[in-house]
């Protein structure tokens, strides 16, 4: 497992130049061709892509439903998708549900009534969308899910490999501390009920469970929010104090919230408690440079060009049976400053 993970990191590191300036999606996991190099995304075990140029995608109406825009990752993600869709000259119907599943379902019903050609959906959680997605499918609307799975019919799902993200962070923890002493970990999770949250936990435990000297003291919801994560970490410090060696944060915002709580308690992040995150934001990279965060794993927010490519491929008649994967990379003190200098982070 460790060799496999290291090979994955080496492959991802070789593609870092594609992320410079944060103008496109990271390269995809396999070799199916994409319409635009900065937005490659390939289906696992899929047949070669159809020629996207053979489809007529010039006059589409696209409903874009985002579940929230309350942190830097999600704001960057929203802006990038809106940019890419609008650059095509398509009519875009946009709605932000403000972190409310019921509101997002209502937004989708409003979009369906306007008879778009496509729905592009960043769902808040997995459950609860079955009826509205079936309604869209019955109306002949094609459905592109991104970042998170939602139960119900859809034509394609594109997201990061969240289990792999958790595995790489887990391996970074093991590489930092080894197997010689007991290491106590607290976990700050993402949105409850979202597949990304469950899978980041699963991947992390895939690695940690192989090492009996590592123990999860507690998990609390951070909801990908600095404020909520700071409060959760304050509670964990009150409960466990100096027993905590590691924070596994499901996002850099969770991690920075934890750092704020650690410092408010008179402790030193990076010395008394090591913080490991996911996202690869500029703030996360800077926290690594400042010695307050040990590592973070890139979860690419730049879905826009890849989604446009998928829509063109659907217009050309291509079908998808497996999810599309956007790749990431591990940031540590060895590459954080150089990555910031190269324009990485968001």
What is the residue extent of each domain of the chain?
15-160+301-328, 162-298
Identical fold for domains 15-160+301-328 and 162-298, yes or no, is: yes
Superfamily of domain 162-298: Response regulator (3.40.50.2300)
Write the DSSP symbol of residue 83.
Answer: H
Buried b (16+ CB within 10 A) or exposed e, 229-267: bbbbbbebbeeeeeebbbbbbbbbbbbbbbbbbbeebeb
CATH 3.10.20.30 assigned to 15-160+301-328 = no
Buried b (16+ CB within 10 A) or exposed e, 100-134: ebebbbebbeebbeeebbbbbbbbbbbebbeebbe
Structure tokens at 109: 């019903």
pLDDT string in tens for the chain (346-residue length):
333 333 333 333 333 332 332 323 333 333 232 333 223 333 333 333 334 434 456 799 999 999 999 888 999 999 999 999 999 999 999 999 999 999 999 999 999 999 999 999 999 999 999 999 999 999 999 999 999 999 999 999 999 999 999 999 999 999 999 999 999 999 999 999 999 999 999 999 999 999 999 999 999 999 999 999 999 999 999 999 999 999 999 999 999 999 999 999 999 999 999 999 999 999 999 999 999 999 999 999 999 999 999 999 999 999 998 889 988 899 999 999 999 999 999 9
Contact 331, 275 (CB under 8 A): no
Which residue(s) pair with 276 in the sheet? 248, 295
């Amino acid at each position: 497992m460790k060799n496999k993970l290291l090979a994955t990191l080496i492959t991802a590191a070789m593609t870092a130049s594609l992320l410079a300036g944060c103008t496109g999606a990271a390269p995809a996991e396999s070799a199916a061709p994409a319409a635009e190099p900065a937005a490659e995304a390939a289906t696992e075990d899929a047949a070669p892509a159809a020629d996207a140029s053979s489809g007529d995608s010039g006059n589409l109406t696209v409903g874009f439903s985002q579940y929230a825009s309350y942190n830097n990752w999600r704001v960057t993600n929203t802006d990038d998708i809106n940019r890419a869709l609008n650059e095509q000259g398509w009519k875009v119907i946009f709605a932000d549900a403000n972190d409310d599943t019921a509101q997002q379902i209502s937004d989708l019903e409003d979009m369906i009534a306007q008879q778009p050609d496509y729905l592009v959906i960043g769902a808040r959680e997995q459950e609860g969308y079955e009826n509205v997605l079936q309604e869209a499918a019955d109306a002949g609307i094609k459905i592109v899910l991104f970042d998170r799975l939602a139960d119900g019919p859809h034509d394609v799902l594109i997201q990061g490999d969240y289990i792999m993200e958790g595995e790489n962070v887990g391996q970074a923890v093991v590489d930092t501390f080894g197997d010689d002493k007991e290491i106590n970990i607290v976990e700050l999770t993402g949105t409850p009920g979202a597949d990304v949250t469950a899978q980041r936990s699963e991947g992390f435990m895939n690695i940690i469970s192989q090492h009996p000297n590592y123990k999860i003291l507690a998990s609390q919801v951070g909801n990908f929010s600095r404020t909520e994560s700071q409060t959760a970490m304050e509670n964990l410090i009150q409960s466990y104090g100096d027993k905590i060696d590691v924070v596994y944060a499901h996002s850099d915002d969770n991690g920075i919230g934890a750092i704020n709580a650690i410092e408010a308690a008179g402790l030193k992040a990076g010395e008394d408690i090591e913080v490991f995150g996911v996202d690869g934001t500029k703030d996360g990279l800077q926290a690594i440079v400042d010695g307050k965060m040990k590592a973070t794993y890139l979860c690419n927010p730049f879905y826009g060009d890849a989604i446009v490519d998928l829509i063109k491929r659907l217009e050309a008649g291509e079908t998808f049976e497996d999810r599309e994967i956007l790749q990431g990379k591990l940031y540590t003190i060895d590459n954080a400053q150089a990555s910031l200098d190269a324009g990485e982070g968001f």
